[in-house]
C-alpha cells in the first residue's frame, strides 16, 4: 500500500495551487477559474463572417471595429488584406482609427501567395 491519501470515491485529492509561477510555464495551474485574469478576448466576427459565400462587409466595417474596441475587446481579427482590394482597404482604414484593440490578421507562408 502507498502512503497517498485518497478521497471517499477512491480518487486522489485535488491539489489547488492558486498562484501560478510565471518562471515555470508548464506548472499545473490547479484552479482554472482563478486564472481568468489572464484570458484575452479575440473577436473574429469580421474575419469569419467574410468566409461565408456571398457575405461581405461594406466599408462601414470601421464603425463595428470601433464599437468592439470601445466595448473592451482586446484583439480584433480581420480578413487578410491579400484576400481582395476591398479587404486591404478595410484593414488600412481600421488600422488608422487608433483603436485600443490590437488588430490581427492571418497570412499565408506559401511563396506564391506572398507574391500577390
- Say how far apart CA 29 and CA 11 lie, in whole Å: 19
**Average per-residue pLDDT for the chain:** 73
Give residue 58's pLDDT: 62
Give residue 15's pLDDT: 56
Q: Which of 55, 61, 116, 65 lies closest to 90 in space, CA to CA?
A: 61
Give residue 1's pLDDT: 47
Q: Which of 62, 50, 55, 47 lies closest to 92 in space, CA to CA?
A: 62
pLDDT in tens, 30-72: 666 666 677 777 777 766 555 555 655 565 777 888 988 999 8
pLDDT at 75 > cutoff 80: yes
Amino acid at each position: 500500500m502507498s502512503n497517498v491519501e485518497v478521497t471517499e470515491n477512491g480518487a486522489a485529492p485535488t491539489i489547488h495551487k492558486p498562484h501560478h509561477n510565471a518562471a515555470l510555464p508548464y506548472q499545473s495551474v490547479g484552479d482554472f477559474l482563478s486564472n481568468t485574469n489572464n484570458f484575452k478576448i479575440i473577436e473574429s466576427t469580421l474575419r469569419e463572417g467574410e468566409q461565408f459565400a456571398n457575405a461581405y462587409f461594406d466599408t462601414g466595417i470601421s464603425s463595428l471595429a470601433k464599437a468592439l474596441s470601445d466595448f473592451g475587446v482586446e484583439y480584433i481579427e480581420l480578413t487578410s488584406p491579400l484576400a481582395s482590394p476591398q479587404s486591404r482597404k478595410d484593414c488600412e482604414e481600421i488600422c488608422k482609427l487608433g483603436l485600443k484593440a490590437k488588430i490581427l490578421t492571418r497570412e499565408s507562408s506559401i511563396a506564391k501567395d506572398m507574391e500577390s
